[in-house]
């Protein structure tokens, strides 16, 4: 068995995290190294390493992650907008092999990204 990712350890409460949202399928917590005044990581509890590992049965689960983001945005008052980022694979800078969305807010973001 491959070792647990840090995100799985957060799900299992083996390491601490500042959790801002949780339901049966998804959990969200503050990034330990924030890249914006608000930086939340949103993950499905199911261990899916990346987009390539997604299966047909995961379609609703991923939709639920977006509904979680909607709730989090309301809770945190992100009425001025926020950026959602998914780093998929090495060239994108993915460090944690557990599919996750970054929610970034509280400052202006350029486009295209660097």
Does residue 95 touch ligand 5GP according to CB under 6 A? yes
Site map (CB under 6 A) of ligand 5GP, residues 33-72, x = contact: x-------x-------------------------------
Q: Which two tokens stand for residue 55?
A: 């299966």
Does residue 113 touch ligand 5GP according to CB under 6 A? no
Does residue 78 touch ligand 5GP according to CB under 6 A? no
Sole binder of ligand 5GP in the list 93, 110, 112, 113 (CB under 6 A): 93
Give the footprint of ligand 5GP on this chain (CB under 6 A): 6, 15, 17, 29-33, 41, 87, 93-96
């Amino acid at each position: 068995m491959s070792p647990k990712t840090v995100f799985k350890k957060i799900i299992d409460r083996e390491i601490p995290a500042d959790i801002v949202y949780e339901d049966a399928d998804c959990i969200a917590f503050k990034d330990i190294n924030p890249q914006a005044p608000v930086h939340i990581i949103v993950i499905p509890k199911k261990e899916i390493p990346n987009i390539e590992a997604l299966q047909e049965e995961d379609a609703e689960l991923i939709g639920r992650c977006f509904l979680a983001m909607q709730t989090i945005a309301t809770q945190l008052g992100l009425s001025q907008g926020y950026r959602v980022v998914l780093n998929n694979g090495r060239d994108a800078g993915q460090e944690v092999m557990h599919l996750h969305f970054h929610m970034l807010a509280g400052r202006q973001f350029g486009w295209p990204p660097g």
